[in-house]
């Protein structure tokens, strides 16, 4: 019997080999930077300073939070909850001819050695991260 962690490690290895990355959303950080700039502008220059500070804060927040990516393998291994892992596993088994979890030992070698299976698995994982978890994937 193959552990699900082994299967996720295989998928993570393939994703890292293909250099797939996931954008890391940071909405709270951007909001905080923009708010600080707006308040400082207001304190220093009054109402006009608030507008200037808000504009500068928006630009600073964009620069700080844009293009922050992590390897997909790292996200798969460390960021998914057990419920999300289970949901992804079900999607993978369904796509691979209706395999059941007890047949996981069949899927692991296929992921490691079959390019077509690797592409299918990566497509499913990208769709899952995009549709279910609202993440953006880049290669």
Cα(117)–Cα(121) distance, integer angstroms? 6
pLDDT, average across residues 92-110: 66
Model pLDDT for residues 103-131, shown as the tens digit of each residue: 566 777 777 888 888 888 889 999 999 88
The token pair at 29 is 């950080």
- Per-residue pLDDT for 11 more than 80? yes
Alpha helices in the chain (DSSP H): 4-17, 27-45, 47-65, 72-78, 82-95, 104-113, 115-127
- pTM for this predicted structure: 0.66
pLDDT, average across residues 8-24: 87
Cα(109)–Cα(107) distance, integer angstroms? 6
pLDDT, average across residues 54-82: 84
Please, are residues 139 and 23 in contact by the beta-carbon 8 Å criterion? no
- Residue 43 has what pLDDT? 92
């Amino acid at each position: 019997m193959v552990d699900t962690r082994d299967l996720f490690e295989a998928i993570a290895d393939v994703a890292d080999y293909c250099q797939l990355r996931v954008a890391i959303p940071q909405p709270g950080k951007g909001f905080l930077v923009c708010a600080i700039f707006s308040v400082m502008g207001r304190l220093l220059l009054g109402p006009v300073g608030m507008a200037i500070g808000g504009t500068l804060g928006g630009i600073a927040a964009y620069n700080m939070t844009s293009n922050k990516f992590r390897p997909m393998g790292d996200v798969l291994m460390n960021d998914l909850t057990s419920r999300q892992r289970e949901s992804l596993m079900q999607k993978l088994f369904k796509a691979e001819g209706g395999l059941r979890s007890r047949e996981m030992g069949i899927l692991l070698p296929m992921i490691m050695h079959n390019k077509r299976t690797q592409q299918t698995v990566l497509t499913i994982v990208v769709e899952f991260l995009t549709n279910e978890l609202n993440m953006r994937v880049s290669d």
